Amino acid sequence: MPLLDYYEVTTQPDARFSLIWLHGLGADGYDFSDVVPALNLPAEAGIRFIFPHAPEIPVTANGGYIMRAWYDILEFSAERRINSDHLRESVQMVWELIEQQHALGIPYENIILAGFSQGGAVAYQAALNFPHRLGGLLAMSTYIADTTLLDYQNANIGLPILIQHGSFDPVVIEEMGIRACQTLRQKGYRADYQTYPAEHHLCPQQISRISEWLQDICI
């Protein structure tokens, strides 16, 4: 399986951390590239941001329209009927990016996964099933797409997890974000849940909190 194409931004030449940030349905890796300067991170954070582009596939729930997607969505509902084989394939592609960053000298525990909406669903699966301890998991406006695929690896039971959701989100309703948080807490993960008066996008308060969270991990 070829390595995903991605857009890269580095806060300083000798990065000590890598953050793999997955975009949402129909977007691409450039969608959140302007978040990096908005985070206003100090130079000592030393983070390499990796923004991969999802493959282009037909999305059933969008009338079969071909767009960038991490997996096919069969039905837009609170249960989100999806193609779980596609989800598995996307998790494997994210793991390959993790291994690439590790081969470049970044320890597993310094690799952070982040994802928005559909990308967040992949980030959940990729982080919680990964056999080595990672640096953190940031899940924004998202949900757990298939609980039957989660292995809940003990290596990441203490993983710092930040879950953020807009209280007015009409695309991924907040109930889905709350349900994901509850699932993780029941399994012993220490997930921090935050809600904001926003729809299906990031707001300035979120970006400020993400910056604080990253600095807690990276400095």
Q: Given the residues 18, 90, 117, 141, select the one marked as catalytic.
A: 117
Q: What is the DSSP string of 148-200?
A: GG----GGGTT--EEEEEETT-SSS-HHHHHHHHHHHHHTT--EEEEEES-SS
Residue pair 93/35 in contact by the 8 Å Cβ criterion: no
Catalytic site residue 200?
Answer: yes
Instruction: Give kind and range of the element (H or E) at residue 49.
Output: strand 47-52
The DSSP output letter for 14 is S
Both structure tokens of 205: 């308060």
Among the options 169, 192, 201, 208, which is catalytic? 169
d(CA 147, CA 178): 14
Annotation says 211 is catalytic:
no
Whether 169 sits among the annotated catalytic residues: the reply is yes
- Catalytic residue, candidates 53, 200, 201, 211: 200
Write out the catalytic residue numbers: 117, 169, 200
